[in-house]
Amino acid sequence: MTDKPQTLPIQSATFTQEVNAEIRRAAATGIYDIRGGGAKRKLPHFDDLLFLGASMSRYPLEGYREACGTNVTLGTRFAENPIELKTPITIAGMSFGALSGQAKEALGRGATLAGTSTTTGDGGMTPEERGHSNKLVYQYLPSRYGMNPDDLRRADAVEMVVGQGAKPGGGGMLLGQKISDRVAEMRNLPKGIDQRSACRHPDWTGPDDLEIKILEIREITGWKIPIYVKVGGARPYFDTTLAIKAGADVVVLDGMQGGTAATQDVFIEHVGQPTIACIREAVKALQDLDMHRKVQLIVSGGIRNGADVAKCMALGADAVAIGTAALIALGDNDPKWEAEYNKLGTTAGAYDDWHEGQDPAGITTQDPELAKRLDPIEGGRRLNNYLKVMTLEAQTIARACGKNHLHNLEPEDLCAVTLEAAAMTKIPLAGTDWYPGKPGTDY
Amino acid sequence: MQTYDLEADGLRGLNAALQAQATETNQTVWEVVNPRGSHAIAVGLDAPIEVNVKGSTGYYCGGMNKQATVHVHGSAGPGVAENMMSGTVVIEGDASQYAGATGHGGTLVIKGNASSRCGISMKGIDIIVHGNVGHMSAFMGQSGNLVVCGDAGEALGDSLYEARLFVRGSVKSLGADCVEKEMRPEHLEMLADLLARGKCDAKPEDFKRYGSARKLYNFDIDNAY
């Protein structure tokens, strides 16, 4: 030791402890990191927007007395039987395989209690899921695992999955630990292999083909049910335009905070656009084609509370979808499992090795003993409560803005608290009437 | 026999009529005239009926077929018999890309040639091609059989799972993880049955068998390209 003044050790902002740990892990294993969830990096998000509330020029609605509608109808363009929901908060596509049967049942139960829809995922439709979901959207994915015309006709809507916010341009993974006998049988694959889902559809490429594919699906389902097209947050203006051109009833737009069951971390963190950057571009595409509110827009990717829902509505969405948040409502990453998270080398809130099938909360697993930890009835009740709270929160904000329906929220109800959010959403920076790139301004 | 003029009466009416046929229907034979390359002809059928399409079809003819026999007296556009579950689809002429894609069952017979990605992601369907198949055929094929009496293009069976491939002619190249395998007596027997179902005048002994080396079944750095 010396009494000479020393500089403090300085951690690099570039080579952080997390970065260095990943370099060491990569050097030791020779394979990229795979994980579940969405982007963890800090991104411009809904927190960067605020509602202005009522004032001299806008009068509010009474919080507990005056009606504020939350219902939404999806699929009004071509479908004989559009989907009617009581709340615009839907449950995003998540597969049986990635999730346990109990978790899928809980999602169906909770969504049904709340008056909303849930969605299948890669791997097909299970009877339990269909049985417990009043409104079930059937995903049509590149892998076509379990795809069949009977389930197609049992669905309340079909979602043609072109992309996903966590991995636009990427296919799915389900590692061998989760390929149980039942999952293997449903997917027609050998048990225990690391399963790859294709990144693009096997029998169409591009929007012209998609238009014909949608025609085929409509012919098989008798033009009765809506057809959604889901895109990742890549080029939202063009993707939305082309989805509409291809004949979509509904466009589902998933930003990069949207989760996945498993993919490469480098994909999750470095491909795609933040959710808030996508919404106005998609809405502009709808407006340019005179299709806003005729083709409905569902936004997903990092939605956590009623304020996020209300902000999506104000930016022009018709509905939202939640995935990660719904899993947390069921019990994912709950601190009550902290000791077990520690054994897995992680901590509650950070657990993302969903692909390994060892989820202490029993949600992202096919291990029957772990899966038993989730009671689907209790899980459904929790999800319903959460959906109810989010809806009430969104209504509270809408009333404060003087709106008698969530769909009446508008961009003028918002301000942005960061330049980035202002630029991405074209919402004026707080305290100004300006956003970067505003027409008529030089910057 | 029921005759349906597609040009005059439209696609919706045709598919609605065909899909409405019950298992015990007595309207067992249908003839579709003036198909003129229309898309989605005879899709989603689920009855043991015979549909004869008198001409060439566009995309997805016979898509998701169950039980029915769809016979195209012409050539077929992309995705013929895609995701077929059961039944039979026969193409007298050639088939475009993705013939039999993701098919779960049934038999697809192509009497001419098939273009690229024939049998892509096949999941149990049997496909018998009298002529040649294009590149990337049986890509990610999971199960079922692809029989090619002619030649196969590049990257046959790329990323193959458990589908079985039989080729009589040349194979321009094999895809990742696809290898030639021993033709054992049980395979010859199976192939004889497939050739008979496809009405092919060919001897099983003249074919070679290809399948998965199963080296891509688990992620491994040594499998990276």
Write the ipTM. 0.96
* pLDDT bracket for residue B74 (50, 70, 90): very high
Please check whether residue B222 lies inside any domain of the structure.
no
Please check whether residue B196 lies inside any domain of the structure.
yes
pLDDT digits (tens, 9 = 90+) for A253-274: 999 999 999 899 999 999 999 9
Identify whether the C-beta of residue B129 lies closer than 8 Å to the C-beta of residue B114: yes
pLDDT at A142 over 50: yes
The residue among A216, A217, A224, A355 with the most chain B CBs within 10 A of its CB, best to mutate, is A216
In this prediction, residue A183 carries a pLDDT of 83
pLDDT at A139 over 80: yes
Average pLDDT of the segment spanning A188-197 = 81
Dihedral of alpha carbons B81, B84, B90, B95, sign: positive
* pLDDT bracket for residue A1 (50, 70, 90): low
Calculate the average pLDDT of chain A.
Answer: 95
Closest B-chain CA to A176:
B218
Please check whether residue A2 lies inside any domain of the structure.
no
Q: Which positions in chain B touch A221 (Cβ < 8 Å)?
A: 44
* pLDDT bracket for residue A176 (50, 70, 90): confident
Identify whether the C-beta of residue B62 lies closer than 8 Å to the C-beta of residue B38: no
In this prediction, residue B221 carries a pLDDT of 55
A99: CATH: 3.20.20.70
Identify whether the C-beta of residue A100 lies closer than 8 Å to the C-beta of residue A126: no
Q: Domain range for residue B90?
A: 2-216
Please check whether residue B221 lies inside any domain of the structure.
no
Average pLDDT of the segment spanning A104-119 = 98
In this prediction, residue B23 carries a pLDDT of 83
Please check whether residue A433 lies inside any domain of the structure.
no
Rounded to whole angstroms, the Cα distance separating B122 from A262 reads 24
Please check whether residue A18 lies inside any domain of the structure.
no
Rounded to whole angstroms, the Cα distance separating A90 from A85 reads 9
Please check whether residue A134 lies inside any domain of the structure.
yes
- Look at chain A and report how many structural domains it folds into: 1
Identify whether the C-beta of residue A348 lies closer than 8 Å to the C-beta of residue A337: yes
Average pLDDT of the segment spanning A432-443 = 89
pLDDT greater at residue A176 or residue A298: A298
Please check whether residue B223 lies inside any domain of the structure.
no
Please check whether residue A57 lies inside any domain of the structure.
yes
- Least confident piece of the model among A283-287, A402-406, B19-23, B188-192: B19-23
Please check whether residue B99 lies inside any domain of the structure.
yes
* pLDDT bracket for residue B223 (50, 70, 90): low
pLDDT at A172 over 90: no
pLDDT at B193 over 60: yes
Q: Which positions in chain B touch A216 (Cβ < 8 Å)?
A: 39-40, 43, 59-60, 63
pLDDT at A443 over 70: no
Please check whether residue A151 lies inside any domain of the structure.
yes
Q: Which positions in chain A touch B104 (Cβ < 8 Å)?
A: 147-148, 188
Q: Which positions in chain A touch B120 (Cβ < 8 Å)?
A: 202-203
Three-class SS state of B37:
coil
In this prediction, residue B225 carries a pLDDT of 47
Residues contacting B225, CB < 8 A, separation 6+: B176
Rounded to whole angstroms, the Cα distance separating A409 from B188 reads 69
B73: CATH: 2.160.20.60
pLDDT digits (tens, 9 = 90+) for A5-63: 999 999 999 999 999 999 999 999 888 899 999 999 999 999 999 999 998 988 999 97
- Look at chain B and report how many structural domains it folds into: 1
Rounded to whole angstroms, the Cα distance separating B104 from B194 reads 16
pLDDT at B39 over 80: yes
> Does residue B120 sit at the A interface (CB-CB below 8 Å)?
yes
pLDDT greater at residue A70 or residue A173: A70
Q: Domain range for residue A118?
A: 34-425
